[in-house]
Amino acid sequence: MSAALDVIIVGSGPGGLAAALLAKQHSRSFLILEKGGQTMQGIIDTYPKGKKVYPTKPKSYPDPFPVMEVKPPDENVPVEAYVEQADTLVKDFGLNIRHNEEFLSIDGDFPNYIVKTDKGSYVAQNIILAFGSNIPNDLGIYGEAKTVARNIENGEDYIGINVLVIGGGNAAADVVSSLSKIKREARDDGTSVYWAHIKETFEINKDTARDLGEEVLLGGHIKILQKAIPKIGEVDADGIDRLYIHQTHSAGTGNDMYMYQGMSFPMKNVIACIGTHGPSAIFDALNLQQITCTGPICKIAKEGERLLMLSDHLETSMQGIFAIGGAISPSYMEIGPDGVIKEKKHSNLIYTAVLDAQIVMEKILAKDNAMAGG
């Protein structure tokens, strides 16, 4: 087998690319494994076409943006331009990416880990898990069909049909304003984008809200359904899979009866942006220590959820294996130098993924220097 690489990076999103660039700048040997056919495949798969990318920095985090080459431009370019920026970066710096190669497992021990993929295996001293967090949540309703989309592949497909977008966060808001814009710009499209959220309030950031407000003011056909509950999947008389949702039910009418009033949409006209769940099962398979949230320990994760344990340099319980970016959002368990473990909030943003990459590479370089110095 060939000599050990300094770092294997799993995933070519903003976090993985930033780590690769820093490795290159410090003359470390590295390889990025990307299961998709393109750099930034995760972003390509999850952002609506034309969605603006914001260089949002979480409150209280330091300026400037950690690795400027990966920063989305301040003028909020569409996602296609951001992906192009990444392609140029890869080309200009000669970053070594194996596309269409999926990371599967890790064998061996530090400093000679064997990283297995669907195409072969590599030896590496350090591994950075930057595979994002894009395992979509289920609607959790009886009869859910696989035909419910998770994002828009082609917005034009929705011209002339009423579409239902489910979800109360930024991803849903982005889909709603993109679809509304496409419909508004199409001639004679009198149909609407129905936007349903299970709660009364929506949780979207300022930039997304601004886009949405602009779309409403420009005459977008957006109909908001608060406290709307996806109820059941059913097949109608024409054999079409439909999703039924309702907003309120009248008080029980006695005899255990409830009255519902609702709407139903063909599942193929439903886009569910209801978040993703973390890669806990993958961390388990890699034998990385996770801690279960119990009692008041966790404020972000729910009781019973398992969070990856990481040092303040994002090193897992196995030396030389790090996890960054979306893969550790929205929170992880940080074990401080004093041994105290606490839940740490980790916003799923490009900024945080890139900052993580910087923190990890600093740690790897410092370890190397310490070893070289004896």
Positions in the binding site for ligand FAD (CB under 6 A) = 10-16, 33-36, 40-43, 46-47, 53-54, 56, 102-103, 130-132, 134, 170-171, 174, 325-327, 348-351, 353
Considering the complex, what minimum distance in angstroms separates the CB of residue 305 from ligand FAD? Answer: 19
Give the residue with the Cβ less far from ligand FAD, 97 or 159: 97
Q: Could you give the angle at the alpha carbon of 299 between the alpha carbons of 297 and 300, nearest 5°?
A: 125
Give the residue with the Cβ less far from ligand FAD, 11 or 168: 11
Give the residue with the Cβ less far from ligand FAD, 117 or 192: 117
Considering the complex, what minimum distance in angstroms separates the CB of residue 79 from ligand FAD? Answer: 8
Considering the complex, what minimum distance in angstroms separates the CB of residue 302 from ligand FAD? Answer: 21
Considering the complex, what minimum distance in angstroms separates the CB of residue 121 from ligand FAD? Answer: 14
What single string gives the DSSP state of each residue in 86-128? HHHHHHHHT--EETT--EEEEES-TT-EEEEESS-EEEEEEEE
Maximal CA-CA distance, the chain: 79
Strands 331-335 and 306-311, bridge-based pairing: parallel
What single string gives the DSSP state of each residue in 219-256? T--EEEETT-EEEEEEE-TTS-EEEEEEEEEPPP-STT
Give the residue with the Cβ less far from ligand FAD, 14 or 155: 14
Give the residue with the Cβ less far from ligand FAD, 36 or 278: 36
Give the residue with the Cβ less far from ligand FAD, 103 or 265: 103
Give the residue with the Cβ less far from ligand FAD, 285 or 371: 285
Give the residue with the Cβ less far from ligand FAD, 266 or 278: 278
Considering the complex, what minimum distance in angstroms separates the CB of residue 74 from ligand FAD? Answer: 12
Considering the complex, what minimum distance in angstroms separates the CB of residue 340 from ligand FAD? Answer: 26
> 299: burial class by Cβ within 10 Å (0-12, 13-18, 19+)?
exposed
C-alpha 80, offset from chain centre: 17
Task: With CA atoms as reference, report the closest residue to 241 among 232, 249, 250.
Answer: 232
Task: With CA atoms as reference, report the closest residue to 174 among 273, 95, 265, 82.
Answer: 273
What single DSSP character describes residue 317?
A: S
How far apart (Å, rounded) are the C-alpha atoms in residues 331 and 341?
A: 13
What single string gives the DSSP state of each residue in 7-64? EEEE--SHHHHHHHHHHHHTT--EEEE-SSSSTTHHHHHHSPTT-B------TTPPSS
Give the residue with the Cβ less far from ligand FAD, 323 or 364: 323
Considering the complex, what minimum distance in angstroms separates the CB of residue 279 from ligand FAD? Answer: 8
Task: With CA atoms as reference, report the closest residue to 362 among 309, 315, 294.
Answer: 315
Considering the complex, what minimum distance in angstroms separates the CB of residue 247 from ligand FAD? Answer: 25
Is residue 73 classed as helix, strand or coil in its secondary structure?
coil
Q: Which residue has the tokens 């299970």?
A: 198
Write out the two tokens for 57. 């920095």
| 313 close to 284: Cβ distance less than 8 angstroms | no
Considering the complex, what minimum distance in angstroms separates the CB of residue 173 from ligand FAD? Answer: 9
